[in-house]
Amino acid sequence: MSIHDGETFVQSIARRIVARLHPARYVRDGDYRDSISALVAHGIGGFCIFDGTLDDVSETIRQLQALAQHRLLFAIDAETGLRMRIEDAVEFPHAFALGLQEPHVTEGVASAIAESLRSLGIAWNFAPCADIASNPRNPIIGIRAFGTEAPRVVEHVRAWIRGHQREGVAACAKHFPGHGDASTDSHIELPIITARADELVARELVPFYAAIKEGVRSVMVGHFAVPALDGSGQIASLSGGIVRGLLRERLGYGGIVVTDALDMRPITQRYSSGQAVTAAFAAGCDVALVPADAHEAIEFAERAHRSGMLSLEEHREALARLDRLIEDFAAYPRTSISQSEHAQRALEAAAGALRLAGDRSVLPLTQYAHIAAFALVEPDSPLDAPTEFFRYLAQLYDGNMDVAFISREIEQSDVTAHAEAIAQAECIIVAVFERPRAGRPLSRWDDRSLTDALDRLAEGKRRVLLIAGTPTVELAWRSDAVLWTFSDSSPSCAAAALLLSGRIGGDEAD
C-alpha cells in the first residue's frame, strides 16, 4: 500500500510538516500553483500564509482544501494582526504597546485578531511572543515582547491566550526557551544564550510556564543555542534535551510543539531540509515549520519514518494533537467580521500606549501656522510607517507643513536646502521609526554630524521628538517634548498624529 492509500495516507508523516504558502502567487502563477498542489497530493499537513489580499487568501484556502484528502491546517504569523501578512487587513499595535496597558486590552486585541483569522479559515496563529525584552540591543525581539520584566509579560501572555483561544484559534507561545536576551538575529546567525540555568528558570522560562498553565495550544521552539540547557550546543529546536527533556517532561507540556521556521539561516547553513525536519522530529517536535524545500523534507522524513529512526509513539501522539486542533477549530462557525470595528479597536489600543514627556505647551501643533516634520530613515529601510505618519498628520493639520526624509549620511548642501525651505516654520518634529526586522540590524542615530544637522534645522523653533517603535533610541538631540508610541504600526502612527494635533491626550511618561 502506498502512502496515498486510505488510512496510511492519513497517518503519513507529511501531515506533520507545514509548508510556506504565498497566496498572492498561488492565484496568479500556474507553475507555483502546481508545486503547491503537489505538496497536497503528497499529504502535506498544512500551510503557513505569508502574503496576499483577503480575497487571495480566502480563495487559496478554498481551492487547496478541495484538493486535499484530509483537512488541511492553515496557519499564519500574525503577532500584530493580519496586516502583518495580508495587505488589506487591519493592523494592531505591537505587543510592547499593549503591555503598557491593562491586560483586558491585550485580551480584546487577541480576540479581534482571532475572529479575523477564523473568518478566513486560519486555525493557528504563531503568537504571542512569550519572550522577555531584557536586552535593549536585541535585534529581533524588542517591541514584539510585552515588556522587559517577567511579571508584566506573564499577565499579557495569559491575556492573549485567553482572548485568542476562546475564538477557536490556536495560540502559540514563542520562542521557547526564551529569545529575549539574545544579541544576534536568529534569521541570520545562531544566537547563543549565555545565561545560567538558574537565571533561565527564574526569568525566561516563567512566561512559558504561565502559558502552559493557561492552556496554550502550541509552543514554538527557537533557533538558538542555550549551553546551560544543552551542553552540546545543539540548536534548541533540534535539541531532545530542551524539547523532550525540559518542555515535555520537566514542564509537563502536552500540547503541540512546533519549530521556528526551518528556512532560517541557522538551520539552512547546517542542514538540508530533510535533515532539519528529521532532526526536529527526533528531538520531539510535533510539527516542522516551513522547511526550505518542503518536497525534499517530505521524502526524507518518510524514509526516516519507515526505517524506524523516529518514535512511532510520538508520531501517533503528534497526529492526535493536530487532529484535535483541527476538529476543535471546525466546531466554530466561519462568521464575517467588521474591519471598521477592528480598526477602531486597534486605534484605541494604540492611543492607550502613548507616553508624553517634557513641555506640553509645545503642543498641539495646530497653534502654529507653519511646521516641519522630518523622519530619520536608513537609506534602504522601508518607508511605509513614516509615510503613513506624514499622511495622517497632513489630514489633521491645516497649516503649512513641510516634510522630508533624512538619513545619517545627509549632505551639508541638503541641510542648507532644508533649512532655507523651513525658515518660516515655528515648530519642528523629528520622528525616529525603529523596530526589529528580520535580517536587519537595529539602527544607531548617535552620529554627531546628524545631531548637528538637526540642531541647525531646528534653530529658533519649538522641538518635538517622536520615537515610533523601539523606545531605547540613541539620539542626543535636545527636544522640548518627546512622544513614545512603542510601535510603528499604522494605528500607532495615526494615534501619534492625533495627539500631536490635539485631538487626543496622552499619559505622562514614567
pLDDT at residue 6, rounded to an integer: 44
Percent of the chain having pLDDT more than 70? 97
Is the pLDDT at 164 greater than 60? The verdict is: yes
Q: Taking the alpha carbons of 445, 447, 453, 456 in that order, is the dihedral positive or negative?
A: positive
Residues shown for the chain? 510
Q: Give the span between the Cα atoms of 484 and 492, in whole angstroms.
A: 10
pLDDT at residue 9, rounded to an integer: 52
Instruction: With beta carbons less than 8 A apart as the criterion, state whether 175 and 129 touch.
Output: yes
Calculate the alpha carbon distances from 48 to 21, 68, 73, 106, 374 in Å. 6, 16, 9, 24, 38
Instruction: With beta carbons less than 8 A apart as the criterion, state whether 200 and 224 touch.
Output: no
- CATH code, residues 354-508: 3.40.50.1700
Average model confidence (pLDDT) across the chain: 94
Q: Give the span between the Cα atoms of 302 and 478, in whole angstroms.
A: 62
pLDDT at residue 424, rounded to an integer: 96
Instruction: With beta carbons less than 8 A apart as the criterion, state whether 294 and 39 touch.
Output: yes
- Region 118-130: what's the mean pLDDT? 97
In 3-state terms, what secondary structure has residue 483? strand
Q: Give the span between the Cα atoms of 183 and 136, in whole angstroms.
A: 9
pLDDT at residue 501, rounded to an integer: 96
pLDDT tens-digit readout, 361-404:
999 999 999 999 999 988 778 899 999 999 999 999 999 999 99
Q: Show the CA angle centred on residue 169, arms to residues 217 and 203, nearest 5°.
A: 45
Is the pLDDT at 7 greater than 70? The verdict is: no
- Please tell me the chain's helix, strand, coil percentages from 3-state DSSP, rounded to the nearest 5: 45, 15, 40
Is the pLDDT at 295 greater than 90? The verdict is: yes
Q: Give the span between the Cα atoms of 270 and 129, in whole angstroms.
A: 26
pLDDT at residue 411, rounded to an integer: 87
Is the pLDDT at 502 greater than 60? The verdict is: yes
- Region 287-292: what's the mean pLDDT? 98
**Number of Cβ within a 10 Å radius of residue 309:** 12
pLDDT tens-digit readout, 214-239:
999 999 999 999 999 999 999 999 99
pLDDT at residue 1, rounded to an integer: 30
Tell how strand 481-484 and strand 462-469 pair up. Answer: parallel
pLDDT band at 441 (very low <50, low <70, confident <90, very high): low
pLDDT at residue 449, rounded to an integer: 86
Is the pLDDT at 2 greater than 50? The verdict is: no
Domain coordinates in residue numbering, the chain? 14-339, 354-508
pLDDT at residue 4, rounded to an integer: 44
| Entry pTM | 0.94
pLDDT at residue 459, rounded to an integer: 95
pLDDT tens-digit readout, 313-346:
999 999 999 999 999 999 999 888 899 999 999 9
Residue entry with cell 504561565: 210
Is the pLDDT at 3 greater than 50? The verdict is: no
**Number of Cβ within a 10 Å radius of residue 316:** 11
Q: Confirm or reject CATH 3.20.20.300 for domain 14-339, answering yes or no.
A: yes
pLDDT at residue 227, rounded to an integer: 97
DSSP track, 253-311: --SEEEESPTTSHHHHTT--HHHHHHHHHHHT-SBEE--S-HHHHHHHHHHHHHTT-S-
What's the grid cell of residue 273?
531540509
Is the pLDDT at 249 greater than 90? The verdict is: yes
pLDDT at residue 373, rounded to an integer: 97
Calculate the alpha carbon distances from 61 to 58, 85, 170 in Å. 5, 15, 18
pLDDT band at 5 (very low <50, low <70, confident <90, very high): very low
